[in-house]
Amino acid sequence: MKTQESMPTTKVERSAKFVKTGFQIGGNYIKHYSKKIFNPALSRDELNEDNASDIYNSLSELKGSALKIAQMLSMDKNILPRAYVDRFTQSQYNAPPLSGPLIVRTFTKSFGKTPEKIYDKFNIKSTHAASIGQVHEAELNGKKLAVKIQYPGVGDSISSDLKLVKPFAFRLLGMSEKELNIYIAEVEERLLEETDYVREVRSSIEFAEACKNLNNVVFPTYYPELSSSRIITMDWIEGLHLKEFLQSNPSQEVKNKIGQALWDFYNFQQHELRKVHADPHPGNFLITKDEKLGAIDFGCIKEMPDDFYYPFFSLTSTDLFEDKEKTIEAFRALQMILPNDSPAQIEFYYKSYKEMISLFAKPYVTNTFDFSEEQFFEDLYTYGEKVAKMPEFKQARGVKHFIYINRTNFGLYNILHELKATVRTDTFKPHV
Amino acid sequence: MATAIQIKKGYVDYVLTHNEQPKSVYSFVKKLKISEADFYAFYASFESIEKNIWFELTVETIDEIQKQELWLQYSAREKMLSFFYSYVELLKNHRSFVIYSLKKHGKRLATPEVLAGAKPIFEKFAEEIINEGLETGELADRKFFAKRYKDALWVQYAFILNFWMDDDSDGFEKTDEAIERGIQVTFDLFQRSPIDNLFEYGKFLTQHGKLKEKMGF
């Protein structure tokens, strides 16, 4: 009863949105069965399409963490259908900007001082929105700073959004609650970590230090003493976002250089650090004037345990596929083939996953890869859409780590594709 | 000779320890080792002590925010937000008393008696801000309604207090959210909106009603 009273209107609104979707889905079933009376041969395909599009529309309108979750759950399909990809980069927490007094309050709560007393200059109007906060420009001792402030209550709204999303995700993905819970828990854990700014500052400093020898990748300096659980202070990186950069008509050489920096950055993390900046959103990178890649926002970090790393990368980077037994063994380790599968199922998933991974690992097969190649992405999408329609893939398969690792690598491919970069793919090899 | 502060302190200490008012002024002054006359020199009753505390908290908040550097740059909306943020910040130091004082009143809709002193101060403050907003055009001057804006803000005052009392989030973060959203929505309603335009359009049509006949409807 109490939570009902104390929850802000948004939850009520969000719930209302879901209720509306519920009605629509109910309506779709009615439509389906009334049509079926006259045409018993009617398949459920139309019904599934109706349902999926209603759910998707509803989730898109919701924005915020609910949309993020929907997108991430759909990652379970391993390769996203194009419609999702179009919106992949749009996922932002769509909140109105914080009022001046709330910004002042956030500072006094964290430091006991107003922002003007902390910095020499502080612009109370934010320059842009970050995923769960907003960014302000400030100056201290002649240095230009970026100050990120988190919206209050984001953590709570993530948890309640997840609860709202669950029943629809069951239907959308056709999974049972038990199967889905593993993935939901994984997503919730990562999303909640993103709201912990103290942790983010720590990770940022750690990654910046670990990656400092990489060519053409730069990181801002972070100021832990000027950061708190709701505020992050870092250097302001002067640079262009990917879209602006591309509009400035850079030469192929420069595009390759940036693409290479991005590739090295990710593969160094995956294979040398075993943990990775798992949010390759174009908004998290800046291209500086001296043609370097600036990496910001280490809110979402995915660590890869050994029992995932070894089987997964031996599939992509060794000649394991030559040996069917060993391949199946790796698939079992990754829960892509389950203990109760029949021999026919084993054969089916063996073939399907082998095809999928071979396709996905294509850039690794040669020493260099041209990401401008439309055909490669066309193949990925076609395959993704085909898989999404296969009833065999309605069931949840694969360990939870796939959600973020696939998201990371798919995001990386996507940015490289936008850059139309050709990169050397053998710079950091998996240790398997 | 006892002072008002001493009596107030003694009273707050008593109610928070016993979770009820002292049985009588007589027993209370005996404990405090002061005379009854001293008590009545400052307060007419126990209620008036509580009323006075609420009054002081509200006045203190208003004084506080008007001293802030940014105050003069703030819009009416931001000034009201600033009030509530500073108010809940100040109340944090008196949380036990606030909860004791308001819980006693129960969940009735009417303004609790203990807030009777704070209400006029807040309303005066709200009116000043509203008038500023009306002058700058930030808020819409609507006949009859503009005079009631301050009532809407008093409703927010009561709502935010209640919300804060039940808030168990870290650092009362949920209350910050309730303030941000609640005050924003309230001021959105005070602003010129499509409803005003619709209303004026309706007025225009009734005043030029003959148009209808001419156009042959």
Check B74 against A101: CB less than 8 A apart. yes
Backbone angles phi, psi at A143, to 5 degrees: -100, 135
Q: What confidence score (pLDDT) does residue B120 get? A: 94
**From the CA of B68, how many Å to the nearest CA of chain A?**
9
B161 part of contact set with chain A, CB < 8 Å: no
Q: Measured between CA atoms, how close is B33 to chain A, in angstroms?
A: 39
> Is residue A303's pLDDT more than 90?
yes
Highest CATH level, class, for A96-150+196-236: alpha beta
Q: How far is CA A340 from CA A176, A336, A344, B135, in A?
A: 16, 12, 11, 75
**pLDDT tens-digit map of A326-363:** 899 999 999 888 899 999 999 998 998 888 888 888 89
d(CA A282, CA A266): 14
CB-based burial label for A43 (10 Å; 0-12, 13-18, 19+):
exposed
Helix spans in A129-176 (H): 154-173
Could you say which residues from 55 to 74 on chain B have a Cβ atom under 8 Å away from some Cβ of chain A?
A: 68-70, 74
Contact A219, A211 (CB under 8 A): yes
Residue A207 has a pLDDT of: 94
Query: How high is the ipTM of this complex?
Result: 0.76
Please tell me which of the candidates B81, B169, B174 has its beta carbon nearest to residue A99: B81
Pairing of strands A121-122, A133-140: antiparallel
Mean pLDDT for B122-128 is 95
- Record the tokens describing residue A364, joined without a space: 């690794």
From the CA of A331, how many Å to the nearest CA of chain B?
44
Q: Which residue has the tokens 């009615």?
A: A30
Query: Which class is B47-203 in CATH?
Result: mainly alpha
CA atoms within 13 A on the CB side of B65: 26
Residues B24-64: pLDDT tens digits? Answer: 999 999 888 888 998 998 999 999 999 999 999 999 999 99
Determine the distance in angstroms separating the CA of A103 from the nearest CA of chain B, rounded to an integer: 10
Q: Which residues pair with A423 in a beta bridge?
A: A369
Using CB atoms, pick whichever of A96, A102, A124 lies closest to residue B85.
A102
- In sign, the C-alpha dihedral spanning B56, B59, B62, B65 is negative
d(CA B13, CA A58): 54
pLDDT of residue A114 exceeding 70: yes
Half-sphere exposure of A60 (CA within 13 A, CB side): 14
Q: Which residue has the tokens 């020199």?
A: B41
Rounded CA separation B117/B140 (Å): 29
Determine whether the interchain pair A156/B169 forms a contact, defined as Cβ–Cβ distance below 8 Å: yes
Residue A2: which pLDDT band, with cuts at 50, 70 and 90?
A: very low
Q: Which residues of A touch B68 (CB under 8 A)?
A: 104, 114
pLDDT per residue over A360-389, tens digit each? 888 988 899 999 988 888 888 777 767 767
Identify the pLDDT of residue A11.
Answer: 46
Over residues A134-156, the mean pLDDT reads: 90
Distance from CA of B167 to the nearest CA of A (A): 7
Nearest to B69 among A9, A99, A116 (CB): A116
| B21's tokens | 């008012």
Q: Which of A9, A105, A109 sits opposite B181 (nearest CB)?
A: A9
State pTM to two decimals.
0.74
> Is residue B171 within 8 Å of A100, Cβ to Cβ?
no
Q: Spell out the residues 6+ positions from residue B81 whose beta carbon is closer than 8 angstroms to its own.
A: A99, A100, A101, A102, B179, B180, B183, B184
DSSP H stretches of helix in B68-111: 76-92, 95-103
* Cβ-based contacts of A109 with chain B (< 8 Å): 171
Please check whether residue A150 is in contact with residue A129, taking contact to mean a CB–CB distance below 8 angstroms.
no
Q: Which residue has the tokens 């005052």?
A: B157
Within 8 A by CB and 6+ apart from A50, the residues are: A28, A31, A32
DSSP letter assigned to residue A240:
B
B78/A100 touch (CB, cutoff 8 Å), yes or no: yes
Q: What is the DSSP string of B110-174?
A: SPPGGGTTHHHHHHHHHHHHHHHHHHHTSS---TTGGGGHHHHHHHHHHHHHHHHHH--SGGGHH
Strands A128-130 and A133-140, sheet pairing: antiparallel
pLDDT band at B202 (very low <50, low <70, confident <90, very high): confident
Asked whether residue B204 carries a pLDDT value surpassing 60, the answer given is yes
CA neighbours within 13 Å on the CB side: how many for A394?
Answer: 11
Residue A184, pLDDT > 70, answer: yes
Two tokens, residue A321? 């596929």
Across the range A116-121, mean pLDDT stands at: 93
**What per-residue confidence (pLDDT) applies to A4?**
32
Q: What is the pLDDT of residue B135?
A: 92
Question: A406 is written with which tokens?
Answer: 């696939």
Identify the band that residue A128 occupies on the pLDDT scale cut at 50, 70 and 90.
Answer: confident
**A152 contact B CB<8A:** yes
* Among candidate residues A4, A299, A10, A13, the one with its CA nearest the CA of residue A157: A10
Domain chopping of chain B, boundaries: 1-43, 47-203
* Chain A contact set for B176 (CB, 8 A): 102, 105, 152-153
Alpha-carbon gap, residue A200 to A65, rounded angstroms: 18
Element (H, E) at A59: helix A45-62
Taking the Cβ of residue A108 and every Cβ of chain B, the question of whether any pair is shorter than 8 Å is answered with yes
Which position has the higher pLDDT, B201 or A17? B201
Contacts of A342 (CB under 8 A, 6+ apart): none
**Is residue A148 a contact partner of residue A128, using CB atoms and an 8 Å limit?**
no
Residue with tokens 């730069």: A218
Q: Please provide the distance, in angstroms rounded to a whole number, between the alpha carbons at the two ends of chain B.
A: 85
Q: Report d(CA A319, CA A313) in Å as an integer.
A: 11
Beta bridge partners of A145: A138, A235
Phi-psi sector, B33: left (phi>0), alpha (psi -120 to 50), beta? left
